[in-house]
Structure 1
Amino acid sequence: MIALVLPPFVDLGGTAVFALSGALLAARLNQTFVTCAFFALVTGVGGGSVRDAMLGVPAFWLRDMWVAPVILGTALIAWFLPRKWWEGRWLEWADALGMAVFCALGTAKALAFDVAPVAALILGVVTGCVGGIIRDVIAGVPSILMRPELYVTAAALAATLCAVLILLGVEQPIAMAMAATAGFALRGAAMVWQIELPAYAREVTD
């Protein structure tokens, strides 16, 4: 078994960034603070909760006394921030950073539970993407999965690189930092330069 040795702030930091993306979406939609806090919660812990359910362990945030307060605090910050400070692509950048960090974290945790490498990186992608998908579905906006721009591809890069580096013996914090940076860079490049995957366009013939 690969021991999971991570600085405590890594999990909380990823949760906070993802929660911020959920709270900002609620603010963009002119929702109440209750909705803002709820969106922060489901976005911040959604992917990690699904991962932990698949691993057969209690959801990570249920036994951590800091996760819920951090999410609530993040929602409060988003709620009181003037719109002009974050309007634009801040939501997308926060989501990209949370996705990259959580993909690396999810992969490392899966490997720590002796999950096979390919399955571990899939769980990493689940960790990084599911929270945002749940957020978008509840909000009634098109999920990032339904758009051609690189997102899951960036998540897969972060998860794969994390798995490879850890299996090669690179220290977990370093492997996670490198993997998250790579995933965030690819997602950022896709947003800036509109990098997209080709869509299915096969013509139907009689």
Structure 2
Amino acid sequence: MPPLPIPMPTDLSILLTVMDFVGVFVFGLSGGTLAVRKRLDLFGVMVLSLAAALAGGVMRDLLIGALPPASLHDDRYLMVALAAGLTAFLFHKPINRLGKPVMVLDAAGLALFTVAGCGKALAYGLSPLPAALLGVMTACGGGAMRDMLVAEVPRVLREEIYAMASLLGAAVVIAGQELDLPPVPVAVAGALAVFVLRVVSVRRNWSAPRAPGS
């Protein structure tokens, strides 16, 4: 008997919450996996997992006035982030067999957090441009914090297509709202756009423009 398809949430707020939690786990897993690669101990793995999973969302909530931030008044966020770190600590070997695990997990987290962050900003009444910027900040903030904690230049500041991929996803979400399209398919399309552009850009060595002569 074939498996039953998983029903897609029909309410946008439910979908954004689901994306937020899945993004927390995925980014937490990327932080924990990087920590293991850097040979950090269990405490270090958990710190990187928490930073990667929660920093972007905390910054977003502070800026839009959603206080206290979701991850500080809902214990589930912390539990999901810690579970991701523990998963990376215990199962880093099978995760590493996936090939470029941090990049793939990072791309998935980038996609989910872009849509959730931009959607939440729009729900709080922000106009399109600030909402897009907050979507990018939500998506990139945790990864930047993770990279800085291990003394790496954050990916968002490198030549790779990173923030630009996030901007594309935010643009899809905003265009869908402006055109009054069904919000759930738009959110899914925005997340897919971010993930595909990010992964393809890495595999094809695409990069953002540099200053002439630099």
Q: Please, which of 146, 169, 173 is the counterpart of residue 158 of structure 1?
A: 169
What's the counterpart of residue 10 of structure 1? 19
TM-score (norm 2): 0.88
**1:82 positional shift:** 4.3
Q: Which deviates the most, 80-89 or 32-41?
A: 80-89
| Aligned equivalents of 2:149, 2:44: Cα separation in 1 | 10
| Aligned equivalents of 1:72, 1:85: Cα separation in 2 | 17
| Aligned equivalents of 1:144, 1:85: Cα separation in 2 | 21
Spell out, residue by residue over 1:137-196, the C-alpha distance to the aligned partner (whole angstroms, 9 max, x if none): 111012113321211110110111111112322233222110010011000111111111
Amino acid across the alignment from 1:139: V
Q: Is the 8 A contact 1:103 1:159 kept in 2?
A: yes
Identity of aligned residues (%): 29
Where does structure 2 lack aligned partners over 5 or more consecutive residues?
1-10
Q: Please, which of 110, 117, 127 is the counterpart of residue 99 of structure 1?
A: 110
**Over 4 Å off, 4+ runs:** none
Q: Is the 8 A contact 2:36 2:92 kept in 1?
A: no
Amino acid across the alignment from 1:179: G
SS of the aligned residue for 2:161 comes to coil
What's the counterpart of residue 96 of structure 2? 86
| Aligned equivalents of 1:145, 1:82: Cα separation in 2 | 24
| Aligned equivalents of 1:55, 1:133: Cα separation in 2 | 20
1:66 correspondence with 2:76: yes
What's the counterpart of residue 137 of structure 2? 126
SS of the aligned residue for 1:61 comes to helix
**1:4 positional shift:** 5.9
Q: Is the 8 A contact 1:15 1:67 kept in 2?
A: yes
SS of the aligned residue for 2:111 comes to helix
Q: Please, which of 46, 50, 55 is the counterpart of residue 46 of structure 1?
A: 55
Amino acid across the alignment from 2:52: T
Q: Is the 8 A contact 1:101 1:176 kept in 2?
A: no
Spell out, residue by residue over 1:76-107, the C-alpha distance to the aligned partner (whole angstroms, 9 max, x if none): 11001143541541001101110111011111
Q: Which deviates the most, 177-186 or 65-74?
A: 65-74
1:172 correspondence with 2:180: no
**1:202 positional shift:** 3.8
Amino acid across the alignment from 1:12: F
Aligned length: 201
Q: Please, which of 4, 13, 25 is the counterpart of residue 34 of structure 2?
A: 25
| Aligned equivalents of 2:164, 2:95: Cα separation in 1 | 29
Where does structure 1 lack aligned partners over 5 or more consecutive residues?
none
TM-score (norm 1): 0.92
